[in-house]
Structure 1
Amino acid sequence: MDQKSVHDYLQSKPATFITQPFAQDVDVYKVQHKMFATLSEGKEGQVDANGEPIWWLNLKCDPDEALLLRDEFPAIVPGYHMNKRLWNTIILDGSVPEEKIKEMIDNSYNIVVDNLPTAQKEELAKIAASLNK
């Protein structure tokens, strides 16, 4: 997945909004004011075969799953500038399959939603239901 398709998929999650509290070049994706993803250009000057920057995606993750994913994919590393136990960085260099990235995005979003107070979960459920009509 490239930066645009990742961005579109992140934004498709119910009640998601973007902020830039860290820097203008770091998009932070939130649900109910809780961060579930960041998307930014890689910090090490990485470029693809076309000379385009390689983007980095930070996602929340179950600690055990985080380790398994890092073992399986060289492009998944401990979360850059994040809690290394709870966050992974996916280097969007094309080596991680699109369906795996979508699954990780879904998991990150769900981890945040599952930890919301009941009232916020109910509000989110209403929003999601209205989108599915």
Structure 2
Amino acid sequence: MNVTSHKEGPWLDDAAGRLIRPYTVSGGRTKPSTTLDLLSMVMATGSIPQAHMGPEHSLALGLCDGPTSVAEIAAHLRLPAVVTKVLLSDLVDCGALTARAPRFHANPTDRSLLEAVLDGLRQRL
């Protein structure tokens, strides 16, 4: 069994996949206390959480040096979006992150936005 380091992802095994269930990561919670959608942007405030947070919280916070979307953080953490939203809302609640809704919220099907997303995906693949 080859378990990856924390730098590569939270407790992953090459053959078995994730070793800790997402339910455990979020403490069984399925609803974030902060309203976030996949395109919400979060960013670290520089404040260190006073309460003890799990390793996934630390990993998520480390990904937020600049404005980063919830979807991107979920992908990096290899967690379902709902679990990522719970983790991020914990960090917002303790003041470690700020969150803002996407700017195009009035027209989420704007063609130029969709083309920009497609171009970004093509660059990553």
Scaled to the shorter chain, the TM-score interval is under 0.3
- Asked which structure has the greater RCO (Cα within 8 Å, sep 6+), the reply is 2
TM-score of the pair, normalised by structure 1: 0.26
TM-score of the pair, normalised by structure 2: 0.27
More strand by share: 1
